[in-house]
């Protein structure tokens, strides 16, 4: 056995610090790569989800082929900006910087930014209505029919913003979502 004296204590301290920092880095970096939590775990949240689901159907005229009262088939995750970008725009994260929510056609789930609180205020709730509209569209149309090219994407977004704004108007909220869509031009448009 070697007696390293103070060097031994110093080396042990460095190893402990290194292990703690490594664990912290692993935990925090993996935290960015997973949802913060699934929305709808409390009764109040579930009631809000159910009501907004029904509003999306009523305002769009599309009845769900699953359950018209509750979107139990559709998980809703509250996520960070980093998670949203890595999941929805992995090759071009800058393209997601203004995204408040997304309907993931592959995983059949909704992602909402953690800054939105649908249970507390109507503008946040309207973004969930918007994503519900995309889920309803996807029940009737394929992914390609919804987002296959620029004009289909624009049409799907216009429909979702129309329903979102109808919801806001029905709640007496003076806010218009999607106004930037007017600036979107597809190559086939003149």
Domains of the chain, residue spans: 1-31, 37-183
Query: What pTM was computed for the model?
Result: 0.79
Per-residue tokens: 19? 């292990």
Residue with token string 């009764």: 43
* CA distance between the termini of the chain: 83
Residuewise pLDDT in 10s, the chain (190 residues)? 434 455 444 444 433 333 333 333 333 344 445 668 888 889 999 999 999 999 999 999 999 999 889 999 999 999 998 888 888 888 888 877 788 999 999 999 999 999 998 889 999 999 999 999 999 999 999 888 988 888 999 999 999 999 999 999 999 999 999 888 888 888 876 5
pLDDT tens profile 113-128 = 999 988 899 999 999 9
Choose among 177, 186, 131: nearest CA to 155.
186
CA distance 118 to 146: 25
Give SS3 for 76. Answer: strand
Q: Which pLDDT score is estimated for 184?
A: 82
Q: Are 72 and 40 in contact (CB under 8 A)?
A: no
DSSP conformational letter for 63:
-
């Amino acid at each position: 056995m070697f007696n390293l004296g103070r060097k031994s204590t110093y080396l042990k301290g460095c190893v402990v610090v290194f292990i703690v920092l490594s664990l912290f880095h692993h935990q925090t970096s993996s935290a960015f790569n997973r949802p913060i939590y699934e929305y709808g775990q409390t009764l109040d949240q579930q009631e809000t989800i159910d009501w907004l689901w029904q509003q999306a159907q009523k305002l769009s005229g599309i009845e769900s082929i699953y359950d018209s009262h509750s979107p139990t088939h559709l998980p809703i995750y509250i996520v960070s900006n980093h998670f949203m970008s890595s999941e929805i725009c992995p090759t071009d994260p800058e393209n997601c910087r203004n995204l408040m929510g997304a309907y993931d056609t592959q995983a059949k789930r909704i992602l909402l930014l953690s800054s939105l609180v649908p249970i507390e205020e109507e503008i946040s709730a309207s973004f969930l209505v918007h994503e519900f509209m995309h889920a309803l569209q996807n029940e009737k149309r394929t992914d390609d029919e919804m987002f296959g090219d620029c004009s289909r994407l624009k049409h799907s977004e216009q429909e979702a913003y129309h329903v979102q704004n109808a919801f806001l108007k029905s709640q007496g909220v003076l806010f218009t979502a999607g106004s930037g869509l007017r600036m979107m031009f597809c190559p086939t448009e003149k």
